């Protein structure tokens, strides 16, 4: 049975929950360090989808009701998307690799380390926001707001992190590669808003 792990250490998920954050998506990659025959794999792997005319990936969902979707390219660098916890991510990766082993596919060269690419978290400031005032507060050079195109403010405090803020007070943070980074980004956002006069955050 194959064993995978997540490359970097991190804070527990409970730290996010204490700050009112929930995970909506985790994206990660795992390299098998080998080429794959996707046509053959599609015929052997139950519940997989492969349409090379429309996508270079074979799509496989290890679990119907939870866990990640696996996007499998011919070069063996697999992407996992849609997990809502690290446990679900690990379970999905283990299930896929075990399925490969049962099909006789050699994965001995797999790195064994899942590389986190993007953790998406969401939260709620629990008050209605004046988005026109928010873009001034956060800085026009760091924000985009085109309500006819998208109903929220797009805020980019740095090159890696993007925050989406909605009039309802809900927000989403995209681009973190660890729970700690996501938590720090949420705390920084709340502090900036509070310092700018948005009370009770």
What would the pLDDT profile of 154-175 be if each residue is shown by its tens digit? 999 999 999 999 999 999 999 9
Residues 134 and 109 occupy one common structural domain: no
Question: Is residue 137 assigned to a domain?
Answer: yes
- Expressed as residue numbers, the domain containing 89 is 5-10+26-117
**Rounded to whole angstroms, what are the CA distances from 178 to 16, 42, 75, 125, 126?**
11, 32, 26, 22, 25
Q: What is the CATH number of the domain that holds 169?
A: 3.30.310.10
Closest CA to 19 of 183, 177, 193, 179: 183
16 in a domain, yes or no? no
- Contacts of 54 by beta carbon, 8 Å cutoff, 6+ apart: none
pLDDT of 201 reads 42
Read off the pLDDT band of 60 (50, 70, 90): very high
pLDDT digits (tens, 9 = 90+) for 92-145: 999 999 999 899 888 776 656 899 999 999 999 999 999 999 999 999 999 999
Co-location of 135 and 67 in the same domain: no
Please tell me whether residues 148 and 188 are part of one structural domain: yes
Number of domains composing the chain: 2
Of 191 and 111, which is predicted with more confidence?
191
Greater model confidence, 186 or 64: 186
Assigned domain for 201 exists: no
Q: Residue 100 domain-assigned? A: yes
Of all residues in the chain, what percent carry a pLDDT higher than 70?
Answer: 93
The pTM of this model reads 0.89
């Amino acid at each position: 049975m194959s064993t995978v792990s997540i490359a970097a250490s991190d804070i527990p998920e409970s730290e996010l929950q204490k700050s009112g954050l929930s995970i909506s998506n985790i994206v990660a990659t795992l390299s098998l360090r080998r080429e794959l025959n996707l046509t053959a794999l599609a015929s052997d792997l139950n519940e997989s989808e492969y349409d090379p005319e429309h996508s270079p990936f074979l799509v496989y969902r290890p679990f119907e009701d939870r866990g990640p979707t696996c996007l499998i390219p011919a070069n063996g660098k697999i992407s996992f998307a849609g997990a809502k916890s690290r446990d679900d991510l690990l379970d999905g990766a283990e299930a896929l690799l075990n399925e490969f082993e049962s099909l006789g596919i050699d994965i001995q060269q797999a790195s064994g380390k899942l590389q986190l690419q993007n953790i998406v978290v969401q939260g709620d400031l629990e008050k209605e926001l004046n988005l026109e005032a928010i873009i001034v507060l956060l800085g026009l050079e760091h924000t985009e707001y085109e309500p006819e195109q998208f109903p929220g403010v797009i805020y980019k405090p740095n090159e890696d992190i993007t925050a989406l803020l909605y009039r309802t007070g809900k927000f989403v943070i995209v681009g973190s590669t660890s729970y700690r980074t996501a938590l720090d980004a949420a705390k920084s956002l709340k502090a900036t808003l509070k310092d700018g006069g948005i009370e009770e955050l």
